[in-house]
Amino acid sequence: MSKPVILALTAGEPAGIGPELCLQLAGEEREAGIVVVAAMPLLSDRARQLGLNVELHHWQPGDLAETRAGHLSVCHVDGCQTTVAGELDPANSQYVLTTLSVAANGCLNGDFDGMVTAPVHKGVINEAGIAFSGHTEFLQELCGVERVVMMLATEELRVALVTTHLPLKDVSAAITPERLTQVTRILNADLKSFFGIERPRILVAGLNPHAGEGGHLGREEIEVIEPTLEQLRGEGIQLTGPLPADTLFTPHWLKNADAVLAMYHDQGLPVLKFQGFGRAVNITLGLPIVRTSVDHGTALDLAGTGTADAGSLHTAIRVGQHMARCRRANNAGESA
């Protein structure tokens, strides 16, 4: 029998809905082995507050992860202060970052097959005097990689981004041949290694309306995007585009695609979130580890009420498990 997949699940901001989403997982038997990386008292206190009967088990490297209903494995992390659901406390910021480090390092050394992240609150971490721009950048630095790619996915659609959190006025200058080449290569390689797609088919959106309309609505397609895509096709990458974004996201094109590459954040993600908000997953490509996340924030107003929807977390776990299995199979094939 093959070794079961074990995913680390960071509980995120202690005052948010992350801890209770983790506890909700214990409501039924699970296929994936999940180890929650969090402070044990935080989870036990939130379980009492919500009236959840969950038995928490201290987990150590080498242990199997609990999959039984009513049970949850926990990799305990110290440093969480007394927490009131819905009330942020900057004193917990270093603890939150420690949970990410524990999970990521556990993936790098083989204790975990991947990590899933519940939402953190970037604002309160920065208020604590710690420069933090997000999970993605934190994990990029920890893993020591030059470029990462943000991709959101549902069961039916995958959308990766060339640029992410930039003002619109800065997007055009950021789309360079170098960046577009790096992002496309990472997307193509990780669709193979993490999703088991032998020859990925990628649709590429243009930057301008009508993909520039032959230069009448902008020249980025002519001067940067088209030449770069042609060079990448020479490497054997299957690319279609640049296509106008307003027609790319139609069944005619999507039915023959494994992923869409959008030029900027609000070009691709509104479509995906309309199509599957609450069951989408945020994936970081370009890392040497599997990392998925929920598609929502900390929802402080819902924390402690027991009404938070765990749909996106379930999707993130399913996708993380699939990615971990594909990566394991790919590595086994390479070493055979």
Alpha carbon distance 47, 280 (integer Å) = 26
Pull the structure tokens for residue 219: 């020249």
pLDDT of res. 155: 83
pLDDT at residue 336, as a whole number: 39
Query: What is 1-145+287-336's CATH number?
Result: 3.40.718.10
pLDDT at 269: 92
* Cα(290)–Cα(190) distance, integer angstroms: 10
What single-letter amino acid sits at 100?
L
Q: Check residue 165 and give its pLDDT.
A: 85
**At 232, which amino acid appears?**
L
- Token pair recorded at residue 130: 């710690």
Other C-beta atoms lying within 10 Å of the C-beta of residue 52: 18
Q: How far is CA 155 from CA 221, 277, 289, in A?
A: 30, 11, 21
91: helix, strand or coil: helix
Name the CATH architecture for the domain at 147-279.
3-Layer(aba) Sandwich (3.40)
Q: Are strands 291-294 and 114-117 parallel, antiparallel or unpaired?
A: parallel
pLDDT score, position 334: 61
CA distances, 238 to each of 52, 198, 260 (Å): 49, 11, 12
For CA atoms 188, 191, 194, 198, give the dihedral sign: negative
Q: Angle at CA 312, nearest 5°, toward 324 and 28?
A: 80
Model pLDDT for residues 148-169, shown as the tens digit of each residue: 999 999 988 999 999 998 999 9
> DSSP for 257-299?
-SEEEESSHHHHHHHHHHHHTTS-EEEEESSSS-EEEESS---
Model pTM score = 0.92
**Ranges under pLDDT 50 in the chain:** 1, 335-336
Kindly report, residue by residue over 196-232, the tens digit of the pLDDT.
999 999 999 999 999 999 999 999 999 999 999 999 9
pLDDT for 333? 67
Domain ranges of the chain: 1-145+287-336, 147-279
Find tokens 């943000």 and name the residue: 150
For residues 319 and 116, give the distance between their C-alpha atoms in angstroms, rounded to a whole number.
Answer: 10
H helical segments located in 55-167: 93-108, 122-127, 135-143
Query: Which burial class, exposed, middle or buried, applies to 297 when counting CB atoms under 10 A from its CB (0-12, 13-18, 19+)?
Result: middle
